[in-house]
A and B are shown apart, each in its own frame.
Chain A
Amino acid sequence: MAAPRHSAMLSISNASTPQSTSSDKTQVQQPQSPAGTSGLRVPSNRKTIYDRHLNRSRNAELSRASFAYLFGEMVSYAQRRVTGIQDLEKRLNEQGYPLGLRLLDLLFYRATSTSSSALSSSSTSSSPPNRPLRILTLLHLIHGPLWRLLFQRSADALEHSVSPDTPNEYMITDNEPLVNTYISVPREMSMLNCAAFVAGIIEGVCDGCGFEAKVSAHNQPTEMWPSRTVFLVRFGDSVMEREKVLERAGVK
């Protein structure tokens, strides 16, 4: 369902193998050994993603400035190639989308590997991950674990539309989105919300779970939180129909 959208994404691997210490200081200059099953060359010292533990960078931190520079450059690059605010947001959304698809797998992988023994070197030993079947479970996954993975805290609110016309709309609120912290939006573009990137990530997670959805980011400033952003999640009709069936069947 989502395949065409992320076809151009560079492969980000989900493989995991026993942890390799990357501290061997010997820089051996050896001729390349064309090994491996794919057509890709790999270093002879096996410094590939497949030889590093997937949780290696789990608690790693980097300077917030580095993120701000990269994100800022990403936005201004995108800005040069679009004609309007909507276009720009669409582009940022599309850049986030493939991340969501991949983060989903990472989330499940980590959810299972923490519940089993932390020392187990392979992910196969643990029970298969539970993918959310119901909307609320999915949204809790986004509001909690996904937000913590990305921003090291949960999102600030999760709401359901009260309007009977739009039962498929849910809102996730972030009072102070990290991605917007270092972006100053010109006045004539005040509608722009660069958290469209994060909206894209959410959309990727939803789609990856089999919940077709459109997600957009909206400015909803309050006096206390000037950069407060609401992510509007609109599920497709098929999702809503399935939700009803599952509810009747008592599936949690």
Chain B
Amino acid sequence: MNSRRVILTVRSNLVSRNDRTRIDKVNAELVTLTYGTIVAQLCQDYDSDYQEVNKQLDKMGYNIGMRLIEDFLAKSGVGRCANFRETADMVAKVGFKIFLNVAPTVTNWTSDNNQFSLIFEDNPLADFVELPDDGRAQDELWFSNILCGVLRGALEMVQMQIEAHFVSDVLRGDDTTEMRVSLVRYIEDEMPPEEE
């Protein structure tokens, strides 16, 4: 595991010189709309079983996160975080900035520094979105749940097992969009898990 980290670091030094200044872009609406079709398709496939949709989104995010971390390390050129607080800042200010062009606020730490909240002022994934008015979606569907999976997958690849879930969402009529992130444990040397 340690040897893999070294490789990533070397690579980040090589790549970042070119990439840090030039992150390839696309029209934000294309991303928003594509994500919208993904959620819509899941709702259709699972017959509006929103619990299952949440689960699938989380899985998709996990798959993405496991691959995205390398890209993140390459583009950001950052090194190892000293503690979980630092990790939180890195996720919010660098990770989300690179990939979603937003910087959620890190807040609501527990006293043991193992749990925090990300509060999203803006969420490009949810632009143009209104949840179905079926009396259930606003209570059951976490529209942006893919982000929880991304975080879980990405941090797992740098030896942090975390748990992430949304606790509020403006799409549900809440005043904020808030994700709660908890550190479960630091993963010691072991084989990476199978892709879900």
Q: Contact check: which of A10, A28, A43, A69 meets B43 at CB < 8 Å?
A: A10
B159-171 vs A: 1/0 string, CB under 8 Å?
Answer: 0000000000010
A61-86 vs B: 1/0 string, CB under 8 Å?
Answer: 11111110111011011100100000
Q: Contact check: which of B31, B63, B173 meets A67 at CB < 8 Å?
A: B31
B105-138 vs A: 1/0 string, CB under 8 Å?
Answer: 1000000000000010110100111111101001
Which residues of the other chain, B, contact A48 by a CB distance below 8 angstroms? Answer: 130, 170
Q: A216 contacts the other chain (Cβ, under 8 Å)?
A: no
Q: A157 contacts the other chain (Cβ, under 8 Å)?
A: no
In the bound complex, CA of A12 to CA of B121 (Å): 20
* Interface size in chain A (residues, C-beta < 8 A): 58
Which residues in window 15-48 of A have CB below 8 A to B?
A: 22-23, 25, 27-30, 32, 34, 38-45, 47-48
- Assess the B121–A61 pair: CB atoms within 8 A: no
Q: A163 contacts the other chain (Cβ, under 8 Å)?
A: no
- Assess the A66–B99 pair: CB atoms within 8 A: yes
Q: Size band of the B side of the interface?
A: 35 or more
B62-89 vs A: 1/0 string, CB under 8 Å?
Answer: 0110011001000000000000000000
Which of A95-103, A123-131, A240-248 has 4 or more CB atoms under 8 Å from chain B?
A: A95-103
Q: Which residues of B contact A (CB under 8 A)?
A: 23-41, 43-45, 56, 60, 63-64, 67-68, 71, 98-101, 105, 119, 121-122, 124, 127-133, 135, 138, 146, 170, 172-176
What are 11 sample pairs from A and B whose C-beta atoms fall under 8 A apart? A29-B175, A52-B127, A61-B25, A62-B27, A62-B99, A62-B124, A63-B25, A63-B26, A64-B24, A70-B35, A99-B33
